[in-house]
Structure 1
Amino acid sequence: MQLAVEISLYPLKDQYLRPIQWFIGRLDAYPEIQRKTNGMSTQLCGDYDTIMALLATEMKAAHREWGKGVFVCKFIPGGVNLDHSE
């Protein structure tokens, strides 16, 4: 089963950009998922179990590395076309 996730990270610190870039860089270590990022969020698409496992791993790593931060996620089962522009 495919899954699409829109995720935003809001680090609770003044220097917020570095943790966001770090998190996105870690997502790129998963070649089996499709990632697209814009100024407001990052979208992931791929196998349901793969995405859920990587989110558990990488969100935990982000909290350990950077401390408190808020993740906001939207989940769409079945996936979506991340290249769709409308």
Structure 2
Amino acid sequence: MQVIRQSDKIQKMKFIKYTRHAKNRMRWHKITENEVESAIQKPEFLEPSIESRLNAWIKTSDKFLRVTYKEEVDKFVIITAVKKKKGWR
């Protein structure tokens, strides 16, 4: 699996669309929209996922946050967001 690392370029933020699944997972794991936006803007680790998706990881105060999203021309589509005890490999 190839690892993709994001440079420190400042990007103009696109519109963020949340799937119903993502909203449910965020509510269950108590994840805020600010945390998701932070993970997309400045991930500590970025890896490819299935179907042209990306997994953005950041370390929160007590756990690791993984946001799976797909970047489209005019927006980011958030597929899911979960907090995990163990981070990226």
TM norm structure 1: 0.29
TM norm structure 2: 0.28
User: Which of 1 and 2 has higher RCO (CA within 8 Å, sep 6+)?
Assistant: 1
Q: Which has the higher helix share?
A: 1
